[in-house]
Amino acid sequence: MTATAAPPAPVPAKTAPVRRRRRWHRIVIPFALATVLVTVTLLTHAADQPDAGDRGFLSPVATGDDGGSRLAEALRGQGVTVQRETDTLRALLALDGRPATLFVPAPELLHPDTVGALGDLPAGSRLVLVDPSRRVLESVDLPVAPTDRRWAARAVDPEADGRPCPLPEADRAGTAAVRLQGYAAAGGYAGDLRRCYSGGLVHLPWAADVVVIGASDPFRNDRIGEWGNEALSTGLLGVRGRVVWLDLDGPAPPPHFGTGSSGPPAWSPAPGGSTTWGDGSGTGDGGPAGGGPGGPGDGGDSDEQDRADGPQPEENPLWSAFPPWFWALLLQLALAALLVVLWRARRLGPPVGEPLPVQVRAAETVLGRARLYQQARARGPAAGTLRAATLDRLLTRLNLPATTPPAEVAAFVAARAGGTADEVHELLYGAEPSTDAELLALARSLDRVTRTVTAAPDHPTEGDPR
DSSP output for 225-289: TSTTHHHHHHHHHSTTSEEEEE--SSSPPPPEEEE-SSSSEEEE-STT----BSSS---STTSTT
How many other CB atoms are found less than 10 A from the CB of residue 80? 18
For 350-366, the pLDDT digits (tens) are 667 777 778 778 788 88
Q: Is the dihedral of CA 402, 407, 411, 416 positive or negative?
A: positive
Query: Averaged over 3-7, what is the pLDDT?
Result: 47
For 307-338, the pLDDT digits (tens) are 444 444 555 566 666 777 788 888 889 988 88
Q: Where exactly are the structural domains of the chain? A: 69-257+265-308, 363-454
Q: Which of 100, 106, 93, 184 is nearest to 142 (CA)?
A: 184
Q: Tell whether the model's pLDDT for residue 269 goes beyond 60.
A: no
Q: 434 CB contacts (<8 Å, ≥6 apart)?
A: 379
Interatomic CA distance for residues 305 and 5, integer angstroms? 119
3-state secondary structure of 130: strand
For 275-296, the pLDDT digits (tens) are 333 333 333 333 333 333 333 3
Q: What is the pLDDT of residue 260?
A: 44
For 81-140, the pLDDT digits (tens) are 999 999 999 999 999 878 999 999 999 999 998 998 998 899 889 999 999 999 999 999
> Which residue would you say has higher pLDDT here, 404 or 255?
404
Greatest alpha-carbon pair distance for the chain in Å reads 143
Q: Tell whether the model's pLDDT for residue 72 goes beyond 50.
A: yes
Query: Averaged over 160-177, what is the pLDDT?
Result: 92
Interatomic CA distance for residues 333 and 338, integer angstroms? 9
Q: Is the dihedral of CA 290, 291, 293, 297 positive or negative?
A: positive
Q: Tell whether the model's pLDDT for residue 4 goes beyond 60.
A: no
Q: Which of 289, 248, 254 is nearest to 85 (CA)?
A: 248
